[in-house]
Amino acid sequence: LSAELDEKTLRQALNLAVEHGTLLHATLNINGVLEDVYSLTAPMYRDRQPPTVNVFALYEQNIGMITPIIAEELKEAEKLYPPQWIKEAFKEAVTLNKRSWKYIARILERWASEGKDSGEYRRSIKKDDPDKYIKGRYGHLVKR
């Protein structure tokens, strides 16, 4: 039993190293026997970014089954928003127990329009102008 546990732990560690980009993995057929072969990656590939956020896995783990309509919306969100934003929006929604794609989509839309509080991808935020009612469309109806 302990030998199986050690082999399982080793396989998990090797898989993590492959995902991280430190090792390369190949399965070779040597005389009819399949062998797993691992090799160190070249130094120029070691600073490769870890795998991006899998929005489908996040949805299934935190909300539930994916319907075809939701799948389309998730694909669109992957195109529109940075992976880190998607992950953080899921985290915020789950923390507040708002397990709904619509809620998460609104978080992402708000961050895109108003900017995220971390400062990245910040767009211009419209300041409240005290004269907006006087100068606006119905300004002729307002008195100071």
Give pLDDT, residue 92.
94
Q: Do 72 and 95 sit in the same domain of this protein?
A: yes
What confidence score (pLDDT) does residue 122 get? 46
Domain contains 83? yes
Q: Each residue of 117-137: pLDDT tens digit?
A: 755 444 444 556 666 667 777
Strand partners, 23: 40
Same domain for 86 and 60? yes
The answer to whether residue 107 sits within a structural domain is yes
Other beta carbons within 10 angstroms of residue 116's beta carbon come to 19
Shared-domain flag, residues 62 and 91: yes
C-alpha distances in Å from residue 78, one per residue of 2, 56, 96, 117: 42, 10, 22, 20
Cα separation, 78 vs 54, whole angstroms: 9
94 vs 86: CA distance, rounded Å: 12
What is the average pLDDT across 39-61? 73
Q: Is there a single domain that holds both residue 40 and residue 60?
A: no
Say if residue 41 is in the same domain as residue 70: no
Domain that holds residue 22: 2-45
User: 3-state class of 48 per DSSP?
Assistant: coil
Q: State the pTM of this model.
A: 0.49
